[in-house]
Structure 1
């Protein structure tokens, strides 16, 4: 899809209207305007008319220069945050409340090749979270290269890579695997672009990391009902929390999809909820159950603050932005405690556990796997088979009978 081109003035105007809807103060919006004037001046110097993420990143590197991010003054970091707000709004149409994206600087000639590689990977559609992971790993590798006085990718050597990967032995298996995978792809990119004469990606050690699938955390049907019953619904927060937990428990929606649920997703006439899942991008259509519909209506009438935002569930206090998925995790944990439900280290206590629990209930009812897959919004049934291990009734049928042990066996042991 071709990205819409917008001038910086048009874009910042949209951001200001968005922030005004979130009840941002005039003084804070004024701070944003002041910071954006610097971006405007930079774009004029470069002769750029339209703003995009690359322009924002170029401005930030221009502001930092040869310094490190941690060495900047507070006002300079604030300017960077204001620039990131514009980029985030351009890409997502929203600004995350109380969350500022940390700028991971990748300076110098070697850092530029890393940024080029990230841009190359972005052309294949990697997510924003993956981009941040790439920057995090590259920042660590770039710091190691600096300590080793390596300022040019042509100075990378096999011994240097071996020394670097050796120190990764202190990391967890998952982190080590992430480092090696990203490093291997980057080194292959350098060779393909003709920046190095040797394909050093072949010299990155192989690791035998295999992500072990853990047993899904579940709660019984009675425990889930006890959780739902513990929510006191007389306050606006209680009405909101009740509706969100009910949607999670009854329909198995992921936390991100619940928090991003908008009015456009509710088809009241057909009693349906339709949406494109954030994780898979696949469209899903679920029944709008009567108790869920009643809970949403109760919240909209007597709990939701006045706002022009399209999202159904908002913060209780101003600014009334949509919720982050981590908030729903805190909500579920709160009511698990209130319901007196214990959870050990082996049993998770967030909204995803309610999703697992729904799968467990459907399995107990002998619901076919394709139907469960459709309810949970999986791309294929292979993902759904992951839940077969929690169907204790079916697993008992697979148990083998243990042959009886002759009394003589115990007599032989006692005589020793």
Structure 2
């Protein structure tokens, strides 16, 4: 089936391999996903090496990349290889071991799952289920809480705690002290996670008492800094600096323009679907990932032109219904952990703004739009509607950056003197 990918001296090993059907299924999946032929060939040859090793050692599937025998194989295989080649070998082995009966292997993005201590696993699973069934939290929020609780459990495990009812306030306090080097906003998310878990544990009887009161939150002052924003000239430079002659450039330009004109969050840009665009009515309608509310916006002419240019002459052929996809096989939507920061970072680098202080992600364009609307006299309600805020409290934060308006209402020295 895939014989053309193998050299003559390896054909017999391929044809007689007990895992030939598996190699064929996974290899055909790569072909269907339009991997470059050379990449497909390298994967196939690496899988054949793995199957030879399995046969020699008398090993059978299923196995995982963390199995001792597999780790030993990888360690021996990558001796003398470069860092990039080592990553490829590990990825190829993982794909072969983790693929299902249809040849599909989910992409692993970011950090590997952290092992959960056995004594904590049952409670964590039940708590996770309650977040989905009773709280209705988004999958990404649940994943974040699971990650944070796993880190807490790992700390407890190291401290000798082996059961839930052995957790004491001092353990919580010492764990939070370890987080002091992180940003206040990050530490507050840990506080929210721990308090939620302890309330749930007390309510379900997993803990004899509610320890949520022992989770002390760091002090955070509102309006402690001004919202970061680009000037009108800098925004123009940013957009003009994109190379729209290339497919990736057309995609990146459309992403940046959507963020500039509408202030869309990265998660909403990432999840923008083809059916969200009503070309006849010139309307863009999407369900916001953060609030779950529908946001309806006019399809501006320059935005429509950018989307058409990308969809017609830039977007790879794919069955995905998302507007923006990867331009490297597999041609799939961006994963949930991708905030499209690379697109913004490269755009800033091209025009020499990458060393500026403050934000460098797509939220910078969201803040810039809000500040410009406020400076032009737009009511806070209108700004909130465009940005998709669920409450005007969030929009009020931008009032602190309208320095011109603040100067008009400032109290003079004469007014405060006795």
TM-score, normalisation: structure 2: 0.70
The answer to whether residue 343 in structure 2 is matched with residue 340 in structure 1 is no
User: Is 2:281 the counterpart of 1:270?
Assistant: yes
Matched, 1:102 2:112: yes
With over 3 angstroms needed to count, the CA separation of the structure-2 counterparts of 1:122 and 1:364, relative to structure 1, is same
- 1:206 pairs with 208, 216, 235, which one? 216
**Partner residue of 2:122 out of 112, 135, 149:** 112
Q: Provide the C-alpha distance between the structure 2 equivalents of 1:283 and 1:390, rounded to a whole number of angstroms.
A: 28
> Which residue number in structure 2 is paired with residue 260 of structure 1?
271
The question of whether the paired residues in 1 share the 8 Å contact of 2:243 and 2:249 is answered with: yes
Aligned counterparts of 1:250 and 1:263: Cα–Cα separation in 2: 19
Residue of structure 1 in register with 2:374 after alignment: 363
Question: Partners in 1 of 2:68 and 2:409 — Cα distance?
Answer: 62
Question: Conserved in 2, the CA contact under 8 Å of 1:177 and 1:209?
Answer: no
Identify which of 368, 376, 381 aligns with 2:392: 381
Q: How far off its partner does 1:381 sit?
A: 2.0
The CA deviation string for residues 339-367 of structure 1, in whole angstroms up to 9 with x for no partner, is 2346532x212211111111122122211
Aligned equivalents of 2:271, 2:304: Cα separation in 1? 17
Q: CA RMSD in A?
A: 3.9
Q: 1:220 deviation in Å? A: 1.5
For residues 274 and 376 of structure 2, the distance between their equivalents in structure 1, rounded to whole angstroms, comes to 32
Residue 230 (1) aligns with residue 267 (2): no
State the distance in 1 between where 2:29 and 2:269 align. 21
**TM-score calculated relative to the size of structure 1:** 0.70
Show structure 1 runs of 5+ residues with no match. 1-14, 32-59, 87-93, 405-416
TM-superposed CA distance for 1:218, in Å, is 0.7
Residues 81 and 101 in structure 1, CA contact (< 8 A), matched pair in contact too: no
Q: Answer yes or no: is the 8 Å Cα contact 1:104–1:139 preserved in 2.
A: yes
Decide whether the 8 Å contact of 1:314 with 1:320 is kept in 2. yes
Q: Give the drift of 1:327.
A: 6.3
Cα displacement (A) at 1:297? 1.5
8 Å Cα contact 2:187-2:218 kept in structure 1? no
Distance in 2, Cα, partners of 1:126 & 1:389: 31
Residue 270 of structure 1 and its aligned partner are, at CA, apart by 0.6
Residue matched to 1:54: none
Q: Deviations over 1:92-142 (max 9, x none)?
A: xx9986626632332323331232222222321223233233223322332
1:330 alignment partner in structure 2: 342
| 1:141-152 pair list within 5 angstroms | 141-152=152-163
Shift of 1:166: 5.6
Asked if structure 2 preserves the Cα contact closer than 8 Å seen for 1:219 and 1:357, the reply is yes
Q: How many residues align?
A: 348
